[in-house]
Structure 1
């Protein structure tokens, strides 16, 4: 968790109110408010689910990559199966594959009632970080 706090989540995740609750290679959890992240009809915007998923998956991949390495997203997809209209949603990120040069994570996003609203999958490529 300290690694994630030191690194930061980036301006977009912060603007959307994403907060880490748990952070490790095996499992990462974050929450995001519905308010302020909705589409015109009051539902959580589909893109907001994707931002939550990418924030979790990319951060977890970078933790796995280790010092001197950088994980960058190359593919992301999301399937929305329900809608959140109030409160917060919670994303739980778990690895599907942790390799030397490739990671794949699944992020399950649920509403306050525990109902799955979206399933996000992200693939990251791991490469050497550019020189400082």
Structure 2
């Protein structure tokens, strides 16, 4: 199968309709053969009470991008990906603007995908570093 970046981005953005990803305004903006990138606005909708980007919103972004990225490596008619473990280190706070999330494959097995996910600000400064494990299951 040939790699079609535009088709992949359209598919990922279509999957987001009427989901948490749409609520958080996550938009998939770049893809390659071993990565997927999305962006999310930082505003009051994703703030914690102190006016900072909520760690839970950051983790939701990371898991959304990592799970969508696993779908790029499987046949979605026969298989599905399920997040089974995620860890996050929040390194820098953010009050407003945009964050960018890139998931890069570390291990692509038949039943487990392991992703390194970096969330950065507009200047490329690291906000959070996450690791996501997805289990690949047969569709029933």
Do Structure 1 and Structure 2 share a fold, with TM-score over 0.5?
Answer: yes
Q: Aligned to 1:42, which of 37, 51, 55?
A: 51
Unpaired stretches in structure 2, ≥5 consecutive residues: 1-8
Q: Distance in 1 between matches of 2:33 and 2:60?
A: 19
Give the corresponding residue for 1:31: 39
CA distance in 2, matches of 1:9, 1:110: 24
Aligned to 1:70: 80
TM-score, length of structure 1 as denominator length? 0.91
**Does residue 1:124 correspond to 2:138, yes or no?**
no
- Aligned structure 1 segments of 4 or more residues deviating by more than 2 angstroms: 5-10
| 1:10–1:126 distance in 2 versus 1, CA, 3 Å | farther
RMSD, aligned α-carbons: 1.4
The reply on whether 1:19 has 2:14 as its aligned counterpart is: no
**What is the rounded CA distance, in whole Å, between the counterparts of 2:102 and 2:72 in structure 1?**
16
* Secondary structure of 1:65 counterpart: coil
Choose the corresponding residue for 1:94, options 99, 104, 121: 104
Describe the superposition over 1:20-66 as per-residue Cα deviations: whole angstroms up to 9, x where unpaired.
00134411110001102011111100011101100010011122122
Q: SS where residue 40 of structure 1 aligns?
A: coil
Q: Is the 8 Å Cα contact of residues 25 and 60 (structure 1) preserved in structure 2?
A: no
Tell me the equivalent position of 2:70. 61
Per the alignment, residue 6 of structure 2 pairs with none
Counterpart CA distance in 2 for 1:110 and 1:123 is 20
Take 1:44 and 1:60, find their aligned partners in 2: how far apart are those partners?
23
The whole-number CA distance in structure 1 between the counterparts of 2:42 and 2:82 is 27
TM-score, L = length of structure 2? 0.86
